[in-house]
Amino acid sequence: MLVVAGLGNPGARHAHNRHNIGFMAVEAIARAHRFPPFRARFAGRAAEGAVGGKRVMLIMPQTFMNDSGRSVGEALRFHNLGQDSLVVIHDELDLAPGKVRVKVGGGAAGHNGLRSITAHVGNDYRRVRLGIGHPGDKALVYHYVLSDFSKAEMVWVEVICRAVAEAMTLLVEGQDASFQNKAHLALEAAGIADHAAG
């Protein structure tokens, strides 16, 4: 089984925050692959289904971002899985809006959700980094990630979440580079790859 955790903060107030793009992507995966409804489990909302013939659990921690590791750790322990069975989808300040990158391990780069997960399960899990851009000043980051995507930004956000969902079979098969490429091709096909950052 693969555990795919999308990061965000619970509640309607945060639903369209930049920090919640991980939740948005996981919800898109659930729709695209016809998962059953999410239910309360592991201090989060979880759903189990299949992607490309492989069993997958989608989870959205409801602990608030800073304590995401508690929820993710519970899910891994319950299923007796190691960090090699974990994929975390999260917002990335250091990537331009709409960019998608996959990497294993690395630092938290100030992301409290990643810091919490690393503290609970170790550092060598796969991360799907969804670029949201940087406000340009470190002092502005807190407000920036907790503010909503604009209506114009939501166009590329929806495209990239749908692209991640459609390319998920490649990620499940360990074809990380092909997954990245397919996601970017979807943005190009939608005609917004070059001006997602605009």
The answer to whether the beta carbons of residues 169 and 51 sit under 8 Å apart is: yes
Helix (H, G, I), strand (E, B) or coil at 62: coil
Give the CA distances from residue 151 to residues 158, 173, 191, in Å, rounded to whole numbers and listed in that order.
Answer: 11, 34, 17
CB atoms within 10 A of CB 11: 10
Specify the DSSP element, H or E, that contains 171: helix 168-172
Sheet of 86-92, strand order: 39-41, 44-51, 54-61, 2-6, 86-92, 126-131, 100-104
Q: What is the DSSP string of 73-94?
A: HHHHHHTT--GGGEEEEEEETT
Residues serving a catalytic function are 19
CB atoms within 10 A of CB 186: 21
Q: Are strands 126-131 and 44-51 parallel, antiparallel or unpaired?
A: unpaired
Q: Which residue has the tokens 């971002």?
A: 65
